[in-house]
Structure 1
Amino acid sequence: MDLQLNGKRALVTGSSSGLGEATVRALAAEGVAVVVHGRDERRSHAVAASIRANGGKADVAIGDLTGDEGADAVVSAALAGGPVDILVNNAGSYKHLSWADATPETWRDTYEGNVVSGVRMIQRLVPLMRERGWGRVITIGGGLAVQPMYQHPQYNATLAARHNLEVSLARELRGTGVTSNVVAPGAILVDAVRDLLTEIAPAHGWGETWAQIERDATRELVPNDVERLGRPEEIASAVAFLASPLSGYISGAVLRVDGGHIRNVA
């Protein structure tokens, strides 16, 4: 399917690794000129260079989105190559903490990094999309927004906020040609997840091969109907569709890509 994205330009925050990296690669393969963002210059430039080596177009924007100065630097670098048609708010982080260990300061820092960072990008780039009459804003959320765990409560809450702000933004953007949606991954097999599951597998009796570990960990921790972890490329494909002109009648939606882990009809 031709997603009709050739010639568009996208900024994907937090795209020097993980889901963000998979997303810029998927968009670049569709003909999108991408802006790779990160705080690590070496990794960010390496991803961009790899995309260019494969025939794609890629620029780099370096900056910490938890402050206005860093956000301004990222937007300036992103706009230097032309207008940004697609904003993917992917950047964020979390720590495995209990309620007892997640201090109010941790909550504030997590909210700043996972929610306000995206607001900074929206407020700087979406007005320009409105002026042009076309744009896409896609936020990476997660199933923990609606089905939180007892662990890392500060992270669960920021996902809920990300979902909420994107639907609110969709209402704000009605009739402008700019849409706002959420892609909500389930448990995704990035390097850090594989390393963690491999490390804790012996204590849980999850087997010795990776195939056994993935199967058993999925059943115990994140049971779903596909019976495996998701792949970054599967999230990237969902983002690419929502970024395309073909998704023009979708706004204010949450697209769950979780193997059926969240089991409700909403």
Structure 2
Amino acid sequence: MKIDLSGKTALITGSTAGIGYAVAKGLAASGASVVVNGRSKARVDEAVAKLTKAVPGGKVRDIAADVSSAAGCKELIAALPDVDILINNAGIFEPKDFFEIPDEDWSRFFEVNVMSGVRLSRAYLQGMLKRNWGRIVFISSESGLNIPTEMIHYGTTKTAQLAISRGLAKLTRGTGVTVNSVLPGPTMSEGVETFVKDLAKQNGQSEAEAASQFVKQHRPASLLQRFASTDEIANMVVYVASKEASATNGAALRAEGGIVDTIA
């Protein structure tokens, strides 16, 4: 299968690093005109330069805007009135005891993880419907199904993304537009790499041993028995964003290594 997204414009929020950057790279390699987004102009410029080297000839541009606020989303939409592919990837997480999570944290997590996707989908979905083609993908998490006790607020926002994605998909009935969500599991992003290095030093292990032990201890149901790479998650997202995925709509697609113990 050759995925060709030539002529399509893709916006990936929070794409200066991690899964977002890997998705931007995959979409650019498939011919899409990619818009890299992040809060810091310096970080966005750095990611664009890196992406340009990684995908020679790729079409890449940058828009620095903080999508965690209504004003930031408005600024982004003004700079980019229409997109064909919207990847709602911007998100935050933080392990924290439930009894120590203040209202402010709950609000902050909803603004970043949930409302950013709501605002941008509201802005771009109508144009997709008029053109009769478009893709919206929410980057959720297996934590949306297996709510982690150490960060209930995060898990709740990831469940909310699944509900929003399914609801929006129903608005696309009979059109060439699809809305789906992808559920990664433990993924070796930049932040996780740092965490694993620190863990390895603390326990006198190699980084590979520390990573393997962490998954076995904290995600024992994993069939993969390791962290996924950001590229492995991006592969799923790029497919869902493609023309070839036209019959996949309203789905919660698991890329979590078999942690969720269900056949459906």
Do both proteins adopt the same fold according to a TM-score greater than 0.5, normalized to the shorter chain? yes
In structure 2, what is the equivalent of residue 164 of structure 1? Answer: 163
Q: Deviations over 1:52-88 (max 9, x none)?
A: 3421001111111122221111122234xxx410000
In structure 2, what is the equivalent of residue 14 of structure 1? Answer: 14
Instruction: Provide the secondary structure at the position in 1 that maps to 2:46.
Output: helix
Instruction: Provide the secondary structure at the position in 2 that maps to 1:100.
Output: helix
Instruction: Provide the secondary structure at the position in 2 that maps to 1:45.
Output: helix
In structure 2, what is the equivalent of residue 133 of structure 1? Answer: 132
Alpha-carbon separation, structure 2, partners of 1:8 and 1:247 = 15
In structure 2, what is the equivalent of residue 226 of structure 1? Answer: 224
| Residue 4 of structure 1 pairs with residue 12 of structure 2 | no
Alpha-carbon separation, structure 2, partners of 1:182 and 1:104 = 27
Alpha-carbon separation, structure 2, partners of 1:6 and 1:18 = 24
Counterparts of residues 101-250 of structure 1 (less than 5 Å): 101-201=100-200, 205=203, 207-223=204-220, 224-250=222-248
Q: Deviations over 1:130-179 (max 9, x none)?
A: 11110000000011111111111110100000011000110111112110
TM-score, length-scaled by structure 1:
0.94
Runs of 4+ deviating beyond 6 Å:
none
Alpha-carbon separation, structure 2, partners of 1:111 and 1:201 = 33
User: Which letter maps to 1:103?
Assistant: P
User: Which letter maps to 2:216?
Assistant: R
Alpha-carbon separation, structure 1, partners of 2:63 and 2:75 = 8
In structure 1, what is the equivalent of residue 42 of structure 2? Answer: 42
5+ long unaligned stretches in structure 2: none
Alpha-carbon separation, structure 2, partners of 1:129 and 1:194 = 37
Q: CA deviation at 1:201?
A: 4.3
User: Which letter maps to 2:68?
Assistant: T
5+ long unaligned stretches in structure 1: none
In structure 1, what is the equivalent of residue 69 of structure 2? Answer: 67
Q: CA deviation at 1:92?
A: 0.9
TM-score, length-scaled by structure 2:
0.95
Alpha-carbon separation, structure 2, partners of 1:231 and 1:164 = 26
Would the aligned equivalents of 1:51 and 1:57 in 2 still touch at CA under 8 Å? Answer: no
Alpha-carbon separation, structure 1, partners of 2:130 and 2:34 = 21
Alpha-carbon separation, structure 2, partners of 1:50 and 1:214 = 26
Would the aligned equivalents of 2:200 and 2:207 in 1 still touch at CA under 8 Å? Answer: no
Would the aligned equivalents of 1:35 and 1:78 in 2 still touch at CA under 8 Å? Answer: no
Instruction: Provide the secondary structure at the position in 2 that maps to 1:61.
Output: strand
